[in-house]
Amino acid sequence: MLSMIGLIGGLALLIFLTMRGMNLLIVGPISALFVALFSGMPLFPQLAEEGAANFVGNYMTGFSGFVTAWYLMFLLGAIFGKVMEDSGAADSVSEYIVGKFGMKYAVLAIVIACAVLTYGGVSLFVVAFSVYPMALSLFKQADLPRRFIPAALAFGSVTFTMTSAGSPEIQNWIPIEFLNTTPYAGWEVSLIVAVFMMVFGYWWLKRMITKAVAKGERFVSRESDPVNEKRTLPNPWMGLIPLLVVLVIAFVFHDSLKQSALIIALLGGVIATYVLNRKYFKNFWEAISEGTLGALIAIGNTAAVVGFGGVAKAVPAFQTAVEAMTNIPGSPLIGAAVAVSVIAGMTGSASGGQVIALPLLAPHYMDMGVNPEALHRVAAISSGALDSLPHNGYVVTTVRAICGESHQDAYNAVGAVTVIVPALGVVLAIILFSFGVGI
Which residues span the domain enclosing 238?
2-218+231-434
DSSP 62-108: HHHHHHHHHHHHHHHHHHHHHHHHHTTHHHHHHHHHHHHH-GGGHHH
249 touches 147 (CB < 8 A): no
Residue 25 lies in a domain: yes
Dump pLDDT digits (tens) for 271-327: 999 999 989 888 889 989 988 888 888 788 778 888 888 898 889 888 888 777 767
Residue 276 in any domain: the answer is yes
Q: Which contacts (CB < 8 Å, 24+ apart) does range 208-213 have?
A: 208/148, 208/151, 208/413, 208/416, 209/107, 209/144, 209/145, 209/148, 212/145, 212/148, 213/144, 213/145
pLDDT tens, 141-179? 888 999 999 999 999 989 998 888 888 777 888 888 888
Of the candidates 74, 66, 35, the one whose C-alpha atom is nearest the C-alpha of residue 53 is: 35
Q: Please report the pLDDT score of residue 122 as a whole number.
A: 64
Residue-averaged pLDDT of the chain = 85
CA triplet 182, 188, 191: central angle to 5 degrees?
100
Alpha-carbon span 284 to 313, nearest angstrom: 43
Q: Is 109 helix (H, G, I), strand (E, B) or coil?
A: helix
The predicted pLDDT at position 120 comes to 65
Considering the domain boundaries, does residue 223 fall inside one? Answer: no
How many domains in the chain? Answer: 1
- DSSP state letter for 315: S
Decide: residue 75, CB within 10 A, 0-12 exposed, 13-18 middle, 19+ buried: buried
Q: Locate the DSSP E strands across 183-232.
A: none
The b/e string for 186-205 (b: 16+ C-beta within 10 A; e otherwise) is bbbbbebbbebbbebbbebb
Distance set, CA 34 to CA 105, 315, 335, 349, 352 (Å): 46, 12, 29, 20, 21
In a domain, 283, yes or no: yes
What is the rounded CA–CA span in Å between residue 106 and residue 140? 10
CA 191/CA 197 separation, integer angstroms? 10
Taking residues 393-408, report their average pLDDT: 86
pLDDT of residue 402: 85
The pTM assigned to this predicted structure is 0.78
Q: Which residue has the higher pLDDT, 130 or 9?
A: 9
